[in-house]
Amino acid sequence: MKLFLLGFLFSFSQMMSSQSTERIYLWPDAVPNEEEAKHAPKQVDNTSGNVIRITDVTNPELLVYEPKTANNLGTGIIVCPGGGYAILAIDKEGYEVAEWLAELGYTAFVLSYRVPNNEKGALNDIQRAIRIVRANSEKYHIGREKIGVIGFSAGGNLCARASTNYTKNSYDKIDEIDNESPKPDFSMLIYPAYLDLGENKSISPELNLNIDTPPFFIFGTIDDRHGNSALVMTKALRDHKKSVELHMLPNGGHGYGLRKGNLAAETWPVMAQKWMQRTININ
């Protein structure tokens, strides 16, 4: 598939900056588990479904979306787009989700994590992102224990990994920010993938649930080819007596984001908003 450097980077950046307020690069110097030098990501030529897809991310970043209402809910949410760890569906499962969260009063952070084929680097990135947000919680007027994650497809997988492997550092600490906890306070998985890589499609063995595992909201559909991931994750959480809310619709497929015309896309935001209000104690 033809790739081209973001030659339209100026207009693309203008689009992003008109919606977000700040860009934060995760790694000030060398990027752990990255062989290439830092450079701009590439946009994949495929824009089917009116989706912007980027890849070759070597300089991971957060884009900050401040609350758009006077009622700042004091909660930060890191948004992890999907794309099979090959690309990032950066607008459909990133910017558009952050805009929705900002409209509700949350502070959203879109994470561009390492792709393609760098799952270890992606875990480095989300752990570092959580630490950066927590270290800057006062700046963004969010509670230190009100920092969650939301992910789609592979991004949901990444959020599940971050939410169950926070007791282990995936990279060597580089500064004081890395003394912060990388544990999300809540986790939302929307049509998650790759959580059933255990024997006989059971829970992936890398997911280490324990007594301190945060609460989860999980949404999927029966006709999703990755739908078993939502089921096995829910069962594992239930078996460990952890808080989990699962919603499964009969139809909807995979990769719908927030876009209208799909009942699943129109349903999960309503249910997620209600869950957040209950779980994070926000009225």
The domains located in the chain, with CATH, are: 3-279 (3.40.50.1820)
pLDDT of residue 71: 85
Indicate if the pLDDT at residue 91 is higher than 70: yes
Length of the chain: 283
Phi, psi of 152 (to 5 degrees): -120, 130
Is the distance from CB of 107 to CB of 148 less than 8 angstroms? no
Q: Nearest 10 degrees: CA dihedral of 20, 22, 27, 32? A: 0
Could you tell me the two tokens for 183?
């544990």
Report d(CA 72, CA 56) in Å as an integer.
Answer: 35
Indicate if the pLDDT at residue 240 is higher than 90: yes
pLDDT of residue 281: 64
Is the distance from CB of 45 to CB of 4 less than 8 angstroms? yes
Q: Is the peptide bond before 116 cis (omega within 30 degrees of 0)?
A: yes
pLDDT of residue 14: 38
pLDDT in tens, 117-145: 999 999 999 999 999 999 999 999 999 99
pLDDT of residue 282: 47
Among candidates 214, 219, 100, which has minimal Cα distance to 165? 214
pLDDT of residue 251: 97
Report d(CA 87, CA 166) in Å as an integer.
Answer: 24
